[in-house]
Amino acid sequence: MSAARLLLASASPRRHELLATLGVPFDVVIADVTEHEDPQTDPVTMVMHNAALKADWVAERHPAAFVLGADTTVFIAGQVLNKPANATEARAMLQLLSGRTHTVFTGVALRRQADNLRIDEGVASEVTFKVLDEGIISTYLARVHTLDKAGGYAIQEHGDLIIAGQTGSISNIIGLPLEVTKQILTNAGLLADTCRTQT
């Protein structure tokens, strides 16, 4: 492992790509934890818990490093949609989302055990789906690997097939809200504060 001051506690390639755009060096350490994924749980509570769980696990093993954890889920009609277990579940999720608006919640946690640093933030965005017939669903499932994605879809992959619109942070919908993450890392001293130079 390099001497990077920041560790990302996530196996998600999308989070890797998003975090890299902020320009801060980081390494990846995947947390060996069992995430809470009860579909009846409050979605905000769930993503905040899981983000902290991952960050805390890595921070305990690397106490001098800053550790960033994140967790994302989809919420519609009182139901949490996590990652589908198989293609049948993915299809059922797309059928449920068809023609409706849902909320994407992400929890972000930054930890450093050496000085008991704990920062937690939550972000919500909304996504509206087109009305999807079975042909469109089959086409989408054939083009996109959906089993590692909450809600069984990825807005950045062939989103034109299924997405009618979105509000809020698109990076949140992908899996890591960059606006909030940038502010967290700035507050921790890992990024220069450029806010004062922007108008």
Given this model, what pLDDT does residue 197 score? 38
The domain over range 6-197 is classified in CATH as 3.40.1000.10:
no
Question: Where do the structural domains in the chain lie, given as residue ranges?
Answer: 6-197
Asked if 81 and 75 count as a contact pair (C-beta separation under 8 A), the reply is yes
Given this model, what pLDDT does residue 4 score? 58
Give 38's pLDDT tier (boundaries 50, 70, 90).
confident
Given this model, what pLDDT does residue 194 score? 52
Which member of 27, 32, 38, 71 is catalytic?
71
Question: Residues 52-73: pLDDT tens digits?
Answer: 999 999 999 999 999 999 999 9
Residue 166 neighbours by CB under 8 Å, 6+ apart: 125, 126, 127, 128, 155, 173
Task: Tell me how crowded residue 1 is: count the other CB atoms within 10 A of its CB.
Answer: 9
- Residue type for 183, please? Q
Question: Residues 181-196: pLDDT tens digits?
Answer: 999 999 999 987 654 4
What is the rounded average pLDDT for all residues in the chain?
Answer: 93
**Which residues of the chain form beta strands (DSSP E)?**
6-8, 26-28, 66-76, 79-81, 101-112, 117-129, 163-167
What percentage of residues in the chain have a pLDDT greater than 90? 89
Q: Among this protein's residues, is 115 annotated catalytic?
A: no
What is d(CA 102, CA 88) in angstroms, rounded to the nearest whole number? Answer: 20
Comparing 43 with 40, the larger pLDDT belongs to 43
What is d(CA 53, CA 68) in angstroms, rounded to the nearest whole number? Answer: 11
Give 2's pLDDT tier (boundaries 50, 70, 90).
very low
Mean pLDDT of 88-111: 98
Give 198's pLDDT tier (boundaries 50, 70, 90).
very low
163-167 vs 26-28, strand pairing mode:
unpaired
Q: DSSP secondary-structure letter at 98?
A: T
